[in-house]
Amino acid sequence: MKYFYIIIVSFLFFTHCATIQKSGNEGFLHCPQTHFSFDTLAFAAPATHDFMCINTGAQPLKIINIRPTCNCTVPQWDKNAIAPGDTTYITVKYDSRRSGEFAKEIIVYPNTKQKEIPLIISGKVLANPNKFIME
């Protein structure tokens, strides 16, 4: 009976190891910088940033969707597959015609088993200098 348990435990162990190896052979999107601050922006100034992302996995992957948290943030990305070791850029444009501080999140969805990747832009837009002030 003792040998039966040893055989069962050994089988489960090797099955688990094979599963870990198999799941490690897919694409994995890594973005070294997940937060970017524009610091202070002039009203209506261009506000664009490129987030670099690398496929650090063993298989090609695609970014299937990117969802911004508001309409003031527009992402652009390459819809083609990213080969292992290759780099892609996600361009995020912020509409700086809104004065005040901001922090906006962009959620990246790769076609892999990894969870979504949040990217954040933040900063402060100065008040509109052309705004008519009534006294």
User: What are the pLDDT digits (tens) for 56-73?
Assistant: 999 999 999 999 999 999
Look at residue 80 in the predicted model and tell me its pLDDT.
96
CA distance 70 to 118: 14
CA distance 104 to 6: 54
Confidence of residue 19 (pLDDT cuts 50, 70, 90): very low
Segment 12-26 mean pLDDT: 50
Burial group, residue 5, by CB count within 10 angstroms (0-12, 13-18, 19+): exposed
Segment 38-57 mean pLDDT: 96
44: left (phi over 0), alpha (psi -120 to 50) or beta: left
Starting at the edge strand that comes first in sequence, how are the strands of the sheet with 48-55 ordered? Answer: 29-30, 48-55, 87-94, 73-76
Look at residue 12 in the predicted model and tell me its pLDDT.
47
Look at residue 108 in the predicted model and tell me its pLDDT.
98
Segment 42-65 mean pLDDT: 96
Segment 87-116 mean pLDDT: 96
Q: Count CB neighbours of 133 within 10 A.
A: 5
Average pLDDT, the chain: 86
Q: Which of 11-20, 88-97, 104-113 has the lowest mean pLDDT?
A: 11-20
Look at residue 3 in the predicted model and tell me its pLDDT.
55
CA distance 85 to 90: 16
Confidence of residue 130 (pLDDT cuts 50, 70, 90): confident
